[in-house]
Structure 1
Amino acid sequence: MSILEFSFLAAVLTATAPVVPAALGGLICQAAGVFNIALEGQLLWGAFTAVVCGHLTGSAWAGVLGAVLATVLYAGLLSLASVTFRADPIVVAVGTNLLALGLTAFLMRRIWGSGGTYSSPDLAGLPTLAELGLDVPVLGPQSPLVPLAAALVVAAAWWLARTRSGLRVRGVGGHREAAEALGLRAGAYRHGVTLAAGALCGLGGAQLALGNVTLFSEGMSAGRGWIAVVAVMLGGARPYRVLLACLLFGVAEAVGFRLQGAGLPQQAADAAPYVITLLALVLVAAAARRRPKETTT
């Protein structure tokens, strides 16, 4: 089978779709000078609340909305602690990641009476583009949140480069003291991007739980939030580069599934996207270290 088959491309999009919104959240935080590593916990919380709201309402779209709103509130913990009270954002982010892991497992048992995985025929998943009448061979099996994620990349690039608020966010991140001297409220902008990142992670979590599959499983974010952090590190403050880094993860995961089908052990196939992503990070860091030496010769 050729890796350029539509099924392979669809698998790449499926793997990439939950990561892209979370990575965009990390990108806008970085632009404002906030290194946000809470994406993993927020993505997991978004997936959980999407399933809970979808279960309670019977509507997948209500699940998406509930995930976005609930994850904004959850991101408020990081915003309040790190921006208002000036706590170490790394420590707070690690705490919220661990809290999401434990809280979702606890609430699963309280709501559904058991842990592990919740799946029900009554839980509605997001419709595919093909079901909505948009019969595109590659995009057909995907939910509408997949093209929305691509549109968000374009919107983020335009916002950061062309709008007054986006330029101010970059100013706060690059030169906070100078921005405050000009009258900008750095704290307000950092609160805003941290909460916006929560909304984007909620969207990614909803895609993961109601778009890629229709269930919730303990720890189902499975490192995707950390992949999003790495994508931000690889792409810097450039949305299109961050998208390419996310696609690298998607390609690696799709190849891993193909190799698993060819007889590769499941553990090796599952590790493939993380190994490739870390390798890319090492290569980029090595290239960055060589640049100063090249300019001095």
Structure 2
Amino acid sequence: MLDFITPFLVNSAVQAITPILLAALAGTLCGRVGVFNMALEGQMLVGAFAAVVGSYATGSALGGIAAATLATVAFSLILAYGVTVFRGDAVVICVGMNLLASGLTAYLLRQMFGVSGTFSDPAIVGLEKIRIAAINGWPVIGWIFSRQTALTWVAWILVAVVTVVMFRTPLGLRLRGVGEDAEAAETMGVDVTRYRIVTVLVAGAIVGLAGAQLSLGTVSIFSEDMSAGRGWIAVVAVMLGRNHPLYAALACVLFGFADAFSVRLQGQGLPNQVTDVVPYVVTLVALVLTHTKRRRRQDPTITASP
């Protein structure tokens, strides 16, 4: 088992965690203001496509990140105004956004670059790996943590920032109040609509970073539907974490390691049809176990002896 868990495996797991973690943070923010965001998959896909377009057009990874952020914020306007101003059903809107993102990115890929499936070009500049001299020479730890992109560090910094803001500041108190009891928040003078719109758009910017990490972090390419269910895994992480950023982050760590294990198992000779389902099986098992535990807490008779 120790031979199986290598620094390369952990490094791969950290890379796999980053886009899921960023998307889960966005979902947590939306959940706190009473908006159930199931469009993380589509938002991530839009961010990944825009990141490649921005990097290709500007010749800079920073340009790709900026394009991903702006495009995803613009795409998030559908959810922000659809739920608040037009009083639409969040689930229906999010499903439509996911379908739109899949079709739109595939269409734009053909129209802008004349290719289908996968687009790669030497002009696409990926994110550089940060090597920290202070820990670079440490065994294992230096190899793992000094070879990550800036967005990986940003993701974990955002976990701390979101946690502090959410539970230690007046702004966080208002956000939680909007989600828990919107009518009571309005009586206290809080503009519920504005808080929800701004929060959804900020969350969209964070998902844009997830998309940029996905397409520019490890391989500088864009493939149709390359989010490959990571947005849905982030939704599950939000549900498991019950809209708490720290608990959602722990769930993302579990899913990230499951993803890395699946890649390692494929390297051991198992068919990819088997290894590809490992992260999703782990996700379903975690969701079932958590749901069962909650039911037992709510109804003690479930665990009672016959």
The answer to whether TM tops 0.5 is: yes
Counterpart for residue 18 of structure 1: 19
Counterpart for residue 125 of structure 1: 126
Amino acid at match of 1:118: F
Choose from 146, 153, 161 the match for 1:155: 161
| 1:24-35 mapped onto 2 (5 Å cutoff) | 24-35=25-36
Instruction: Note the aligned Cα RMSD (angstroms).
Output: 1.6
Counterpart for residue 36 of structure 1: 37
Amino acid at match of 1:124: V
- The answer to whether residue 141 in structure 2 is matched with residue 140 in structure 1 is no
Separation in 2, partners of 1:198, 1:97: 14
Separation in 2, partners of 1:241, 1:212: 26
Amino acid at match of 2:192: A
Task: Give 3-state SS (helix, strand or coil) of 2:106's partner.
Answer: helix
Counterpart for residue 281 of structure 2: 275
TM-score by length of 2: 0.94
After TM superposition, give the deviation of residue 177 of structure 1 in Å. 0.9
Counterpart for residue 58 of structure 2: 57
After TM superposition, give the deviation of residue 8 of structure 1 in Å. 1.1
| 1:54-203 mapped onto 2 (5 Å cutoff) | 54-130=55-131, 135=136, 136-203=142-209
Separation in 1, partners of 2:3, 2:252: 21
Task: Give 3-state SS (helix, strand or coil) of 2:100's partner.
Answer: helix
After TM superposition, give the deviation of residue 264 of structure 1 in Å. 1.2
Task: Give 3-state SS (helix, strand or coil) of 1:121's partner.
Answer: coil
Task: Give 3-state SS (helix, strand or coil) of 2:145's partner.
Answer: coil
Paired residues, what number? 297
| 1:224-243 mapped onto 2 (5 Å cutoff) | 224-243=230-249
The 10-residue stretch of structure 1 (24-33 or 261-270) with the greater mean CA deviation from structure 2:
261-270
Amino acid at match of 2:188: L
After TM superposition, give the deviation of residue 142 of structure 1 in Å. 1.6
Amino acid at match of 1:161: F
Choose from 214, 220, 225 the match for 1:214: 220
Identity across aligned pairs (percent)?
47
After TM superposition, give the deviation of residue 66 of structure 1 in Å. 1.0
After TM superposition, give the deviation of residue 134 of structure 1 in Å. 7.2
After TM superposition, give the deviation of residue 237 of structure 1 in Å. 2.2
Amino acid at match of 1:147: W
| 1:252-263 mapped onto 2 (5 Å cutoff) | 252-263=258-269
After TM superposition, give the deviation of residue 147 of structure 1 in Å. 1.0
